[in-house]
Amino acid sequence: MTSPTQILDSHPRTEVRDGMLITWQLPIRMDDGVVLRADLFRPVGAAQVPVIMSYGCYAKGQAFQEAYAPQWNAMLEEFPEIAEGSTNRYQCWELTDPEQWVPHGYAVLRVDSRGAGWSPGVQDLWSAREIQDYCACIEWAGSQDWCNGSVGLLGISYYAANQWLAAAAQPRYLKAIIPWEGASDCYRELYHHGGIRCTFLDSWLPRQEAMQYGQGERSRRHPVTGEPCGGDVTLSEAELAAQRVDKRAEVKAHPLLDDYYRPVITDFDRVEVPLLSSANWGGQGLHLRGNLEGFTRSASAHKYLEVHGLEHWTHFYTRYGMDLQKRFFDCYLKGDPSGWARQPRVQLQVRHVDRFELRAENEWPLARTQWMRWYLDASDTRFAPDQPRGAGALRFSPEGDGLTFVSAPLAQRTEITGPLSARLHISSSTRDADIFVVLTMRDPDGSEVAFRGAMDAYTPLAQGWLRASHRGLDPVLSRPERPVHRHDRVEPLTPGEVVALEIEIWPTSIVVPAGYRLEFQVRGRDYVYSGPVDPQRNARHRYPSKGCGPFRHDDPDDRSHPDFNGVITLHTGGQFDSSVLLPVIPVAMP
């Protein structure tokens, strides 16, 4: 076994390949002596250029085509343009292709985060230590003689989430960020949806452990250098476990939003750099809310929003996505505004049943929104804009499929684009209840219409979650269309007593055709898609496509208590205005 000392004393190698000057395993020393490793791609013979940087745990040497072959193949089948103009030998999961950027006058710097790939140290994912390291790498890159003093951050998901936190730390060489579908509040958007523990970590963490520093000969090989992607140290399983924080155990030990989470919730008042925030309508569970919050709440005077659909990686690589990224960075890293001067503040791919339509807007939520309250009626399970004539109540069990309220066929085409919320009056036979709400749609034949989502082939229109004992609102952040809960205390229910819940539903966009029906589900467990399944469509995703992807809420340690298994009663009509606030966009006049 090679010792860690031998790795840290090894020298980086520089060579010219495929028209780029490449330095492999470049060392960047942290304040505590740990040396992180990076790969640097830059133009041959260029003096000083801006840097596009990433910092993350996916092992910078793993080939996209090998580690995520089904996703790569499906993406190229639909968008063959992605492979054009590049050898594609440097493609890496959720990172940009250096061959697309270096000829455009940029350096690309990929840093393995502490404890991942070729970077030693204790791995502590989504932590203050990572942000401290990230900022140190930004400062290091910006001060190098091959950099023009401008560093931009780019990457998807994990590589995006930490951008918000790094920007809030305000490193001096950071000049712009493009967080592409990444959370900005790890408690509300990743670990606990509505206070209910999400089990995404349980399926995601093992994949990251396979890319930990010290996997050595057990890891995949770099497609160009032939080196193992997990470093040239091969540690035992016990040694590897000792070099990583058990994030799952830590999260389970902190069910409330306490000081443990403060370092990974973005202080948007300190995010002042220019930003292009890119979200996904189908990113329910991770790839949507954080980008919209980042856009609306950041202090930056130069902030832009883009929202699209399809899988969470696809448009990052298409011509559509690359064009956005290059024009934005040219403006804010190179000082060339010519390609960005006419960019709208908000660019939406508005979702239809069979397509997306690009539309420019000025703000989010849209100023012309007509906020319409649609009511639930327990007497006939109707979902409609008029209030029920009388009071009613329906019971459901957390083990079943809950309650479904259905609208009449829509008389005319209706666009729903924006944040939405539910106000539900419930009682429980126990001292708590987990409430899951889902907005869905059915065509005139009665078939459910689901959409290709960020991480599931069959996502509904929108979803929301709330643990009833977490119903306390943050009075500063909450708005009618987007209630925000404190999650800092437990307020048990009194069995049989009715309480009002304001439930945040993550935003959506859909143009509902005339004749289609809207459905609103109130459940005690995760939504499950009920329609026909296309195996080829499922193959695009790494997780089972059942409607929620990996963002499930079925941790028995979190939900097995008898308090979460009581009979829940939904009260409607009369004094109980159980309803949904919908963002209806007026039809544009010809």
At 243 the pLDDT is 97
What is the pLDDT averaged over residues 91-100?
96
What is the pLDDT averaged over residues 526-547?
83
Question: How far apart, in whole angstroms, are the C-alpha atoms of residue 29 and residue 429?
Answer: 58
At 144 the pLDDT is 97
pLDDT in tens, 206-246: 988 899 999 999 999 999 999 999 998 999 999 999 999 99
Co-location of 427 and 476 in the same domain = yes
What is the pLDDT averaged over residues 438-446?
97
Co-location of 95 and 71 in the same domain = yes
At 295 the pLDDT is 98
Co-location of 466 and 406 in the same domain = yes
Burial 518-551 (b: 16+ CB within 10 A, else e): bbbbbbbbbbebeeeeeeeebebbebebbbbbbb
Residue 590 has pLDDT above 90, yes or no: no
Residue 359 has pLDDT above 60, yes or no: yes
What is the pLDDT averaged over residues 53-58?
97
What is the pLDDT averaged over residues 272-277?
98
pLDDT in tens, 140-183: 999 999 999 999 999 999 999 999 999 999 999 999 999 999 99
Co-location of 426 and 562 in the same domain = yes
CATH of the domain at 221: 3.40.50.1820
pLDDT in tens, 118-133: 999 999 999 999 999 9
Co-location of 381 and 328 in the same domain = no
At 236 the pLDDT is 97
9: left (phi over 0), alpha (psi -120 to 50) or beta: alpha
Contacts within 8 Å (CB) and 24+ apart, 67-73 = 67/93, 67/220, 68/93, 68/542, 70/539, 70/540, 70/542, 71/311, 71/313, 71/540, 71/541, 71/542
3-state secondary structure of 360: strand
4 band by pLDDT with thresholds 50, 70 and 90: very low
Q: Which of 330, 361, 392 is the last residue of a domain?
A: 361
Q: Which of 338, 361, 384 is the last residue of a domain?
A: 361
**Residue 184 sits in which domain range?**
4-361
At 2 the pLDDT is 36
At 587 the pLDDT is 82
CATH of the domain at 531: 2.60.120.260
Q: Are 12 and 27 in contact (CB under 8 A)?
A: yes
What is the pLDDT averaged over residues 449-463?
95
Co-location of 178 and 218 in the same domain = yes
Question: How far apart, in whole angstroms, are the C-alpha atoms of residue 232 and residue 238?
Answer: 17
At 539 the pLDDT is 72
544 band by pLDDT with thresholds 50, 70 and 90: confident
Co-location of 140 and 265 in the same domain = yes
| Residue 48 placed within a domain | yes
Q: Which of 361, 380, 397 is the last residue of a domain?
A: 361
Token pair for residue 212? 């930990």
Residue 11 has pLDDT above 70, yes or no: no
Number of domains observed in the structure of the chain:
2
Return the amino acid letter for 519. E
47 band by pLDDT with thresholds 50, 70 and 90: confident
Q: Please state, rounded to an integer, the average pLDDT across all residues of the chain.
A: 95
At 401 the pLDDT is 95
Co-location of 341 and 380 in the same domain = no
181: left (phi over 0), alpha (psi -120 to 50) or beta: left
pLDDT in tens, 384-436: 999 999 999 999 999 999 999 999 999 999 999 999 999 999 999 999 999 99
Residue 589 has pLDDT above 60, yes or no: no
Token pair for residue 102? 């270096």
Co-location of 353 and 411 in the same domain = no
Interacting residues of 589 by C-beta distance below 8 A, sequence separation 6+: none
Co-location of 13 and 142 in the same domain = yes
Percent of the chain residues past pLDDT 70, beyond the cut: 98
At 339 the pLDDT is 97
At 5 the pLDDT is 35
Residue 167: enclosing H or E segment and its boundaries? Answer: helix 158-169
Co-location of 301 and 394 in the same domain = no
The two beta strands, 196-197 and 216-221, are: unpaired
Write down the residue that tokens 């143009």 correspond to: 511
| Residue 590 placed within a domain | no
| Residue 375 placed within a domain | yes
| Residue 408 placed within a domain | yes
The two beta strands, 356-361 and 346-351, are: antiparallel
Co-location of 376 and 332 in the same domain = no
| Global pTM value | 0.96
At 533 the pLDDT is 83
Q: Are 238 and 264 in contact (CB under 8 A)?
A: no
What is the pLDDT averaged over residues 443-451?
96
Write down the residue that tokens 């404890």 correspond to: 115
